[in-house]
Each structure stands twice: as C-alpha cells, then as structure tokens.
C-alpha cells in the first residue's frame, strides 16, 4: 500500500500538468481531442482520489530526504480537499463539452483548466511554504486568464481587477514567507511548526501571521478583502465560475488558512477571535448584498462570500465540533455552489440572459436544470434533510457549545436570509409563467444535464455523511483530527 | 536601515497601485512592489563579506555554512521572478485588450461592472 501511495502523490500534480501541456502539443485545432483528454484526466483524478481516501503519506521529491528536499504531504484533510477538487472538476469538465461549444480556442480552455487543477492539487499536497506559493500562483494565473476567457468588456475589466488584487495579495504572502523563513530558518511546514512551538509567537512572527491572514483573506474573499469576487466569478464562463466559487477559494484560501493557523502557527485565543469576526462580517455583508442582486450569477457570487463566512466562523471557534462543521460545510458548499453556477450557466445557455426579471417558468422548459437547482437551493439554504442543513446545524451548535450565543443567533438569521434569496431565484427564474419570448426554448444538452445530476447526487449523498454522528461525520471527522492534533510533529 | 529601504520600495509600489488611474501605471507599480519583496527575500539570505555558495572539493559542511551567503533565498527569488514575468505578461495583455475595447487606459472610465 505504502509504495502505491508514494507513486500516487506526485501524480496528483504531474498528471494534470502533463496533460495540459500535451493538449497544447497534440490537440491544437482539434478541440474534440482536447475534450476527451481533459475528461479522461479528471476521471482518472477522481479514481485516484477515491483510492487514496483513508491513506496518508509523505513523498520526498527526487528522493532527497526532508531537510534538503521538498516534501509533499497527504493526510486526511488533504484527502477531503482533493475529493472536492476532483469531483467538481470532473462534473465541470463534462459540462464544458457542450457549454464551451460557443467559444473559440477550446484547446486553450482545457489547458488552462487543467493547469488550475494542477495548482490546486499542488497547494493541497505541498509540504513546504514556498512550494505552496508556487502552486498557488499556478492556480491563480490560470484563473485570471480563465476569467478573461470571453474577451468581452466585462470579462476583461473583471479579470484586470482580479489580477491586480491577486498579485497584491500574492506579494503580501511572499513577504510573510520571507519573514517566517528569516525567523525560523526553514520553509518546511513541519519543521517551521516545531521551531515556532519552541520560541512562541514574538512580534516579527505576529507580523508575518498578520500578513498571511491578509493575503489569504484576499484569496478567500473574506469581507474587507472581497471586492474582486463579485466581478470575477460572474464574468467567467459558467464552468469556470463553478470551479472558482466551488473549489478555488477553498483550496487556495480556507484550506491554507486552516493549515497555517492550526498546524503551523498553533492556535491562540486572539488569533481565533480574528477569524471569528472575519467570518461573521463576511456572512452578514455577503448575505445581505446577495439578497439585493438582480443578476443570477452575481447573486450566487455574493452568496459564496456569505457561505465562506460560515466556514471561517466554524474554524474560528477552534473546537472539534466547530472544525467539523467548517470542513463539512466546505465540501457541501463545493458541491451545491458549483451546481448552482452550472444551473445559472444552463439558464444563460438556453435563454441568453442572466437577469432574474427577464426569466420565469423555466421548470417547464429546462426540467433537469429546474429540478437540480431546487436541490442546490434547498441544500444551500439549509432545508432539512439536505446536506447544507446538517453542516449549518453543526456550526450553530458549536457556537452555542462554546458559549457564543450572539454568533449563533447571527448564523441562524443569515441562514434565513440565505433561504430568502434562494427562494427569490426559484420564484423568479423557475416557477411562475414562461415569458412569451421564451416559449420555444430547447432543452439543456445531454452532457450538461448529466453534470448537473452528478453534482445534485453529490449533494444528496453528502447528507448521509452525517450518519456517522454529528461529531464525526464520514471522512470529515478524520480531517478534523488533523487540525485538532495541533502543530505538525 | 537597508531593510527599511525595501519596505519603502514595497510601500511606493502599494501607493502606486492604489493611487494611479492608468492601467499601465498600476501594472508598473505592481512590478515595483514585487521587486521590493524580492530584495527583502535576498537580504534575508545575505551576510556581510560572505562568499558565493559554491561547493568545491575543499569545502566541508561547516565551512560552507559558516562562510557563504544563504543560497536558498536566491533560488526562491529566481523562481519568483519567473512567476512575476508570467503575471506581468498576462497583465500587459489585459491592458492591451482593455484598450482595444474601451479605447482608454483610464480605470475610472473602465466601469461597466457595478453593485
């Protein structure tokens, strides 16, 4: 077993990277071949992830031992994130086959898409900080260009804002890495954790920590740093929006935040307090702004900010139950938010508009989109028995358990706001009557329907994870233990 | 002293990003900021009078660690410069495309997205 895992760990990064270059070489001008290659790669990644579940491993790049070489580390938390990336990535790749027909240069699209997956897998598996930074930039640069993929006015503008803020946050992160390296003399996260545990947090380390929080809050789009997200996510083509909102902000944002706070710097009450307030602020501001949106994708983008707030609040509680809630909500959100973005894409594909006012009665014209979007909406709004209900319940229970009754009340209130804006989408777009101009809509293409059904099934399947008990849902309990185990050995 | 100059360079870049109205000037400011960070990274590995980190037959591990500058930050900066180049190319391409669409480099006029 151990040797198999040793082969698999580097493949998670190498396979998508190799195929993305291969597409550029052999599939130029042959988009169908690029489609096949990308889908096969994502399917392989799903199978590899399923195989690796429950396994842990440490891979030394090039066979160099730890203090000299570069490590890649697979543990239960990495497993969880890999699962989210590969499942959503596979559904998105399927969906893109039909959706991207309207665009030119589809070969480039699949190359960039696989590069983004490479970057995310690399960040998840990286064992040292600089490697993490490099993969983060790979994912980020791929996402900048994917946001601009349509090359229309809005897309270019959104992408430019995204690049500027993204590079700014990357620079902050690099300064923080330089500081931490100067203080601890190592880049390996495990060694770094050991040194920091010895010396404790002093002023320069605190500065580095603050810079990390700022930098990764940008990447996660927590509220004072969220300005780019509502432009960038809706401007991208729908499959890319699904990828960005569904997994990118988690893999290169929340995941790294959690790793740094719990496994590298070690937790203290004041740091957790900061996370809690960031979470609450994002939850409230994102939720209220989402409720006022008229564009369906923009509404979902603001809703992402709000839902990310729930996760960061759970992390900030720092208790095992809070972490379980945060991680459970993370994987749930990756399923239903990417599902909702794919639904929005299907609506735009069929009707040519994203304005809620112009839509209506789409349940009859687009039955699969209507049904799956109902599942997605109910999940994100936290209607029992869907998965979103359980994860929000756990987060709220964790707030009560730690004695933060006020935060619990805010979380309940924002859940109700979520329900309100999701019902608004359902009522305006899918129920009511079909506008006259839209009587002869064609149904969604088969592969797009299949991708949406896949993600909806994922939403429903995840609600059964809770059968393992509220404190230890399937797969998520193990990931939580990685964080509560504290700093790396 | 020299550290604070690095910090100054970073802050100059940051000011440029926040205060400029031209897309190209924003890009230039970002590059200035990046290089401030690179210099900071290099300074962390620097040592006064250190020798270049090259191993030959006469160096032992202790003499290497005692005499040379730290080679690791240099490798990091090299990597980071390459990443920066990629991002720069992308940003410049975006500026050109934006100019094609909007006919201006002025960010206050490139404003279709709101809310």
A291/A417 Cα distance (integer angstroms): 7
Q: Does residue B78 belong to the interface with chain A, where contact is any CB pair within 8 Å?
A: no
Chain A nearest-CA distance from B52, in A, is 19
Round to the nearest angstrom and report the end-to-end CA distance of chain A: 23
How do residues B9-67 score in pLDDT, each as one tens digit? 999 999 999 998 899 999 999 999 999 999 999 888 887 777 777 777 777 777 777 77
B47/A126 Cα distance (integer angstroms): 29
> Which residues from B are below 8 Å from A145, CB to CB?
90
Q: Do A181 and B113 touch (CB under 8 A)?
A: no
CB distance A243 to A116 below 8 Å:
yes
Q: What are the residue ranges spanned by the domains of chain A?
A: 277-489
Mean residue pLDDT across chain A: 89
Q: Does residue A156 belong to the interface with chain B, where contact is any CB pair within 8 Å?
A: yes
To test the contact with chain A by mutation, choose from B21, B38, B83, B105 the residue with the greatest count of A C-beta atoms within 10 A, namely B83
Neighbouring residues of A264: CB distance < 8 A, sequence distance ≥ 6 = A189, A192, A193, A196, A487, A488
pLDDT of residue B114: 59
pLDDT of residue A120: 95
Residues of chain A where predicted confidence (pLDDT) is lower than 50: 1
Instruction: Measure CB to CB from residue B34 to each of A130, A171, A235 and give the nearest one.
Output: A171
pLDDT of residue B51: 77
Across A451-489, b (16+ Cβ under 10 Å) vs e yields bbbbbbebbeebbebbeeeeebbebbbbbbbbbeeebbe
Q: Do A163 and B91 touch (CB under 8 A)?
A: yes
Q: Do B34 and A167 touch (CB under 8 A)?
A: yes
Residue of B nearest to A170 (CA): B34
Chain B nearest-CA distance from A307, in A, is 19
Chain A nearest-CA distance from B50, in A, is 17
Q: Does residue A155 belong to the interface with chain B, where contact is any CB pair within 8 Å?
A: no
pLDDT of residue A2: 52
Domains of chain B: 2-48+68-102 (1.10.287)
A279/A259 Cα distance (integer angstroms): 17
A245/A103 Cα distance (integer angstroms): 21
Is the four-CA dihedral A97, A99, A102, A105 of positive or negative sign? Answer: negative
> Which residues from B are below 8 Å from A148, CB to CB?
94, 97
């Amino acid at each position: 077993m151990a040797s198999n895992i040793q082969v698999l760990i580097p493949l998670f990064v190498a396979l998508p990277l190799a195929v993305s270059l291969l597409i550029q070489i052999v599939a130029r001008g042959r988009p169908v071949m690029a489609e096949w290659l990308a889908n096969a790669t994502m399917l392989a990644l799903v199978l590899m992830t399923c195989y690796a579940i429950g396994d842990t491993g440490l891979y030394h790049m090039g066979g160099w031992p730890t203090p000299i070489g570069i490590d890649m580390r697979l543990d239960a938390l990495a497993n969880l994130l890999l699962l989210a990336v590969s499942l959503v990535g596979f559904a998105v790749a399927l969906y893109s086959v039909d959706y991207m027909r309207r665009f030119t240069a589809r070969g480039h699209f699949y190359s960039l898409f696989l590069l983004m997956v490479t970057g995310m897998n690399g960040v998840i598996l990286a064992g040292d900080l600089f490697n993490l930074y490099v993969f983060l930039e790979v994912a980020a640069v791929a996402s900048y260009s994917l946001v601009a993929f349509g090359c229309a006015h809005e897309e270019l503008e959104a992408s430019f804002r995204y690049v500027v803020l993204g590079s700014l946050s990357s620079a902050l992160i690099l300064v923080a890495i330089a500081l931490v390296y100067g203080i601890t003399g190592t880049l390996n996260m495990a060694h770094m954790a050991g040194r920091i545990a010895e010396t404790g947090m002093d002023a320069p380390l605190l500065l580095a920590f603050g810079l990390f929080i700022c930098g990764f809050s940008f990447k996660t789009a927590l509220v004072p740093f969220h300005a780019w997200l509502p432009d960038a996510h809706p401007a991208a083509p729908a499959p890319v929006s699904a990828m960005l909102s569904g997994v990118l902000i988690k893999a290169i944002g929340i995941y790294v935040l959690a790793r740094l706070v719990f496994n590298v710097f070690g937790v203290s009450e004041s740091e957790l307090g900061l996370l809690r307030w960031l979470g609450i602020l994002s939850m409230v501001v994102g939720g209220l702004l989402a409720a006022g949106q008229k564009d369906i994708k923009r509404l979902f983008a603001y809703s992402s900010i709000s839902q990310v707030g729930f996760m960061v609040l759970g992390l900030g509680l720092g208790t095992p139950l809070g972490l379980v809630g945060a991680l459970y909500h993370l994987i749930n959100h990756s399923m239903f938010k990417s599902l909702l973005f794919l639904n929005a894409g299907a609506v735009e594909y069929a009707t040519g508009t994203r304005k809620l006012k112009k839509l209506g009665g789409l349940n009859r014209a687009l039955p699969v989109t209507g049904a799956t979007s109902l599942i997605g909406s109910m999940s994100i709004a936290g209607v029992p028995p869907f998965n979103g209900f359980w994860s929000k319940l756990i987060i709220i229970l964790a707030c009560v358990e730690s004695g933060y009754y006020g935060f619990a009340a805010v979380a309940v209130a924002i859940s109700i706001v979520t329900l309100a804006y999701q019902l608004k989408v359902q009522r305006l777009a899918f129920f009511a009557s079909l506008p006259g101009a839209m009587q002869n809509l064609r149904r969604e293409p088969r592969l797009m329907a299949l991708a949406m059904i896949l993600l909806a099934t994922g939403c429903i399947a995840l609600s059964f994870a809770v059968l393992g008990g509220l404190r230890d849902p399937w797969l998520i309990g193990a990931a939580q233990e990685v964080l509560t185990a504290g700093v790396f050995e | 002293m020299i550290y604070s100059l690095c910090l100054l360079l970073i802050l100059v870049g940051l000011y440029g990003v926040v205060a400029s109205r031209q897309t190209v000037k924003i890009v230039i400011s970002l590059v200035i900021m990046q290089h401030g960070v690179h210099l900071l990274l290099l300074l962390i590995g620097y040592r006064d009078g250190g020798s270049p980190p090259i191993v030959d037959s006469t160096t032992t591990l202790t003499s290497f660690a005692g005499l040379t500058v730290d080679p690791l930050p240099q490798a990091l900066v090299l990597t980071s410069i390459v990443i920066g180049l990629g991002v720069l190319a992308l940003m410049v391409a975006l500026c050109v495309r934006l100019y094609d669409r909007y006919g201006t480099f002025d960010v206050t006029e490139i404003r279709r997205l709101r809310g």
